[in-house]
Chain A
């Protein structure tokens, strides 16, 4: 017996299901006969459809090489890297917003002092 989740991945990756998934919002095409009360396997399938939609999009816009789609281990690794590096970028941006004076870094990633400083002097009476 084939690994059921492996079979689901293959189906979700296929042009047939990716086309339906990609156009179901616009055309009203249905992936399943039921629209509510999804089963366990249907939830897995939806999750795989979404994963392959992201992967195909990244390959199409040149964010990921086609090699990624050669192996499930490559697919998972690429998605993991994308998620983690995205989290890193987000955290970095959040830190910058919280501490704007710490954003200055040179090419060697060494923090430097802010380029300009404002000096406020009390106005003389």
Chain B
């Protein structure tokens, strides 16, 4: 069972990769520089999608309480479900298979220190004379370190995707989106979705992608 779990968590099927690409493309067409500038201007984000005007506002105290209760409920529910594992237990499982997640985190930190060392040298050169050759060499070194850090972060995050903690976080983002999204009906803004169930049943990747993007960029600090 352990092997099967690790197999499932580390490999994406071709269909999953294709589906992810479609969602990515749909999001890419709707989220551009102007859209990012627009959501930066105010803490209330409004946008139109298929002739419906949506609005996302900051969660108030009551919203936060509702979201927190849902968080506790989901965490308890997943804790009772044997098919999900806590992060620390999953890390132990991976370690048995020779995958050291904590080691990856340490590597990322040590790469950061290494990067800062190169940044210092590059900064010094820039301040001194801006020697083109030295600048390019250091820049390339920094790019390589950043790429390595990115690869490790993506790998580690993919490996830990199915932990209870991550699933709860994912659920919270969805739940918060459901709680704070409104739509305009006859000149008034009302809750956009009748229930959380209805929200989860929406088959519109472009809308979901846009909402997910806005929530992540605006209120991820509210969770």
Interface residues in chain A, defined as those with a beta carbon under 8 Å from any beta carbon in chain B:
1-2, 4, 7-8, 10-11, 32-34, 37-43, 45, 64-65, 67-68, 71, 73-74, 76-82, 84
Query: B104 to chain A: closest CB distance in Å?
Result: 23
Q: Which one of B41, B123, B143, B217 lies within 8 Å of A81 (CB-CB)?
A: B123
Which residue of B is nearest A43, CB measured?
B221
Q: Which stretch, B64-72, B77-85, B90-98, B124-132, touches the partner chain A?
A: B124-132
Given contacts A32-B42, A74-B126, A81-B124, 7 further A-B contacts (CB under 8 A): A1-B24, A33-B41, A64-B126, A73-B139, A77-B142, A81-B119, A84-B123
Q: Say yes or no: B116 contacts A80, CB within 8 Å.
A: yes
Interface residues in chain B, defined as those with a beta carbon under 8 Å from any beta carbon in chain A:
24, 27-28, 31-33, 36-37, 39-44, 58, 116, 118-120, 122-124, 126-127, 130, 135, 138-139, 142-143, 213, 217-221
Q: How far is the CA of A79 from the CA of B116 in the complex (A)?
A: 11
Q: Which one of B36, B42, B221 lies within 8 Å of A34 (CB-CB)?
A: B42
Which residue of B is nearest A45, CB measured?
B40
| Interface class of chain A by DSSP | helix
Query: A28 to chain B: closest CB distance in Å?
Result: 17
Q: Say yes or no: A65 contacts B40, CB within 8 Å.
A: no
Q: How far is the CA of A74 from the CA of B220 in the complex (A)?
A: 29
- Contact partners of A7 in chain B: CB under 8 A: 33, 36-37
Query: B176 to chain A: closest CB distance in Å?
Result: 13
Q: How far is the CA of A79 from the CA of B120 in the complex (A)?
A: 9
Q: How far is the CA of A120 from the CA of B140 in the complex (A)?
A: 62
Q: Are A78 and B42 CB-contacts (below 8 A) given A1-B27, A2-B33, A84-B120? A: no
Q: Say yes or no: B123 contacts A40, CB within 8 Å.
A: no
Q: Say yes or no: A40 contacts B130, CB within 8 Å.
A: no
Q: Are A81 and B27 CB-contacts (below 8 A) given A8-B36, A34-B42, A74-B139? A: no
Q: Say yes or no: A81 contacts B42, CB within 8 Å.
A: no
Which residue of B is nearest A71, CB measured?
B139
- Contact partners of B130 in chain A: CB under 8 A: 65, 67
Query: A88 to chain B: closest CB distance in Å?
Result: 10
Q: Say yes or no: A37 contacts B27, CB within 8 Å.
A: no
Q: Which one of A38, A39, A41, A78 lies within 8 Å of B123 (CB-CB)?
A: A78
